[in-house]
C-alpha cells in the first residue's frame, strides 16, 4: 500500500502524465483498489485547482486587453457606417421626360455642341443655312445659342467667318474674300443675320440704319396678350443696378411721363441724361390660351430693346426671357398653370425654355439695284411651341 501512494515528481507538468499512466496501470490492482481510486480523485482535484495546469487552453486576460476589446466593439459600428456612407449610393431612377422636356434638352445640348465644336464644323453648318448672297452681302440663318462676337470665349460666328468666306467662294486658296458682321443679334436670338463682304459695305449699311432704311421684324411668343393689339411703345431705356443679395445690372424703362396723383392725367418727368430713346412698333398676329404671337419692329437700336418693352412696357414678357420676367431678382420665368399644362412642363423645368425671339425678316431700302428683303424660317422649337399653345400661323396676306 505504501508503495502505491508514494509519488515523487519534481516537475508537475511532466510528472502529471506519468502519474495518470501509473494510476491507470494500477487501477486493476486487486491488492489495493481503494488506494488507486483515492489517488485518482486526489490528482483530478489538484489539476482543477491548479491555475498553471490549463494556461495554454485559457490564458488570463489583462485589463489593457479587455479595454482594447471593448473599444473595438464600440468603434466597429461607426466604421461600418462610415464605410457604407463612402460607398456611392445607387442613383434614383429619373422620372420620364415629357416630349417638350426632351425637345428643350435636345436644343440645349445642340447649342452647347455648336459652341464647342471645331470652327470648320460650325462653318459648314452656317454654309448650309445661307438665306441670301450677292457680291456685297450675305444673309445667314443664325442658330440659337451661338454668340456673334468673341465675347464669351466660346466658338462664335465671327471666329468662323474666314472659313465660311472660303466655302462661299468654292474654297479658292487666294480668293482674298472676307465676311464682316454688320447688324448683330443676341446670343439667344435666332434668325436672319446680315454679313458684309467689304468694309465699305459695312459703312453703307450703317448709314442706311441711321436713316431708318434698315427694317427688322421680329416674331415673339409672349406670356399674356398685349392690349391694344396694335400700338407703339415710345419709352426711353436706361441701364440700372438691381440691388439685393445678388446685385446685377439690367436695362430698365426711363419714362418721360407718369400718372398724376389724381389718376386722371399724366405728369412730365425729368428725363435722365443716360437714358436712350427707344421706339418699338408691335402687332398681335394671333392669341390663344393667355399667350400670343406678336410681330415687333424696333425703330431704334438699344440693347435688349424689344425684351424690355414687352416685359416692362406691356407687361407681356417673351416666353423664355428669364432675365426680364423678374425685375428685382435673378430667377427662372414664372408661368401660369394653364400655360405649363399646354407646354407639358413643370415650373422647376421652365429654366430650360429657350428665348422665343426670332429675327423673322430683314429689309434693306434704297440699295443700288432694288430693295433687299429676306425672311428666315421658323426654328423647330418655335413651331412646336406654337402647336402646343394652339397659336396658328397667320396667313401670308395678313403678314404684310
Report the pLDDT value the prediction gives residue 356, as an integer from 0 to 100.
97
pLDDT beneath 70: ranges in the chain: 1-61, 76-95, 98-101, 103, 107-108, 110-117, 151-153, 171-176, 366-369, 396-400
Query: What is the C-alpha R_g of the chain?
Result: 45
Contact of 350 with 69, CB cutoff 8 Å: no
Contact of 257 with 249, CB cutoff 8 Å: no
Closest CA to 361 of 377, 338, 340, 343: 377
Tell me which CATH code domain 100-211 carries.
Answer: 3.30.70
User: How far apart, in whole angstroms, are the C-alpha atoms of residue 53 and residue 46?
Assistant: 9
User: How far apart, in whole angstroms, are the C-alpha atoms of residue 329 and residue 85?
Assistant: 37
Closest CA to 367 of 204, 211, 206: 204
Summarised one tens digit per residue, pLDDT across range 108-125 is 676 666 656 677 888 899
Query: Which three-class secondary structure state does DSSP give residue 392?
Result: coil
Contact of 167 with 120, CB cutoff 8 Å: no
- Largest pairwise CA distance in the chain: 149
Domain segments of the chain as ranges = 100-211, 214-392
Q: Report the 3 state secondary structure along 331-399.
A: CCCCCCHHHHHHHCCCHHHHHHCCCCEEEEEEEECCCCCCCEEEECCCCHHHHHHHHHCCCCCCCCHHH
Contact of 225 with 292, CB cutoff 8 Å: yes
Angle, alpha carbons 289-191-105 (nearest 5°): 65
Reading the block at residue 188, the C-alpha cell is 439667344
List helix spans (H) across the chain: 2-5, 12-26, 33-49, 63-86, 99-116, 119-128, 161-168, 199-210, 305-308, 337-343, 380-388
Reading the block at residue 176, the C-alpha cell is 482674298
Q: Report pTM.
A: 0.71
Tell me which CATH code domain 214-392 carries.
Answer: 3.30.2350.10
Closest CA to 327 of 243, 235, 258, 236: 243
Contact of 22 with 15, CB cutoff 8 Å: no
Report the pLDDT value the prediction gives residue 327, as an integer from 0 to 100.
83
Closest CA to 334 of 231, 223, 226, 237: 223
Amino acid at each position: 500500500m505504501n508503495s502505491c501512494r508514494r509519488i515523487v515528481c519534481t516537475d508537475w507538468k511532466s510528472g502529471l502524465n506519468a502519474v495518470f499512466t501509473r494510476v491507470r496501470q494500477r487501477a486493476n490492482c486487486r491488492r489495493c483498489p481503494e488506494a488507486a481510486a483515492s489517488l485518482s480523485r486526489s490528482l483530478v482535484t489538484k489539476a482543477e485547482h491548479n491555475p498553471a495546469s490549463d494556461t495554454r487552453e485559457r490564458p488570463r486576460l489583462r485589463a489593457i486587453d479587455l479595454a482594447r476589446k471593448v473599444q473595438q466593439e464600440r468603434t466597429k459600428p461607426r466604421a461600418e457606417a462610415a464605410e457604407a456612407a463612402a460607398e456611392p449610393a445607387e442613383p434614383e431612377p429619373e422620372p420620364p421626360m415629357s416630349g417638350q422636356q426632351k425637345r428643350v434638352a435636345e436644343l440645349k445640348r445642340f447649342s452647347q455642341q455648336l459652341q464647342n465644336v471645331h470652327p470648320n464644323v460650325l462653318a459648314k453648318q452656317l454654309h448650309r443655312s445661307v438665306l441670301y448672297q450677292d457680291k456685297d452681302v450675305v444673309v445667314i440663318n443664325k442658330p440659337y445659342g451661338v454668340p456673334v462676337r468673341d465675347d464669351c470665349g466660346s466658338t462664335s460666328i465671327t471666329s468662323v467667318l474666314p472659313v465660311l468666306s472660303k466655302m462661299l467662294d468654292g474654297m479658292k486658296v487666294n480668293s482674298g474674300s472676307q465676311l464682316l458682321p454688320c447688324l448683330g443679334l443676341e446670343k439667344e436670338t435666332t434668325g436672319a443675320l446680315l454679313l458684309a463682304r467689304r468694309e465699305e459695305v459695312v459703312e453703307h449699311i450703317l448709314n442706311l440704319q441711321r436713316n431708318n432704311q434698315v427694317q427688322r421684324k421680329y416674331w415673339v411668343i409672349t406670356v399674356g396678350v398685349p392690349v391694344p393689339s396694335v400700338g407703339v411703345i415710345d419709352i426711353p431705356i436706361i441701364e440700372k443696378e438691381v440691388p439685393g443679395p445678388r446685385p446685377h445690372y439690367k436695362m430698365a424703362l426711363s419714362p418721360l411721363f407718369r400718372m398724376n396723383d389724381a389718376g386722371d392725367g399724366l405728369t412730365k418727368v425729368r428725363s435722365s441724361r443716360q437714358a436712350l430713346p427707344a421706339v418699338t412698333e408691335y402687332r398681335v398676329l394671333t392669341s390663344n390660351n393667355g399667350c400670343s404671337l406678336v410681330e415687333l419692329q424696333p425703330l431704334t437700336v438699344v440693347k435688349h430693346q424689344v425684351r424690355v418693352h414687352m416685359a416692362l412696357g406691356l407687361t407681356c414678357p417673351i416666353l423664355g426671357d428669364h432675365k426680364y420676367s423678374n425685375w428685382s431678382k435673378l430667377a427662372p420665368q414664372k408661368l401660369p398653370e394653364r400655360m405649363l399644362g399646354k407646354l407639358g412642363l413643370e415650373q422647376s423645368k421652365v429654366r430650360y425654355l429657350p428665348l422665343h425671339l426670332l429675327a423673322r425678316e430683314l429689309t434693306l431700302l434704297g440699295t443700288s439695284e432694288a430693295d433687299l428683303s429676306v425672311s428666315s424660317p421658323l426654328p423647330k422649337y418655335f413651331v412646336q411651341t406654337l402647336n402646343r399653345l394652339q397659336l396658328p400661323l397667320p396667313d401670308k396676306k395678313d403678314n404684310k
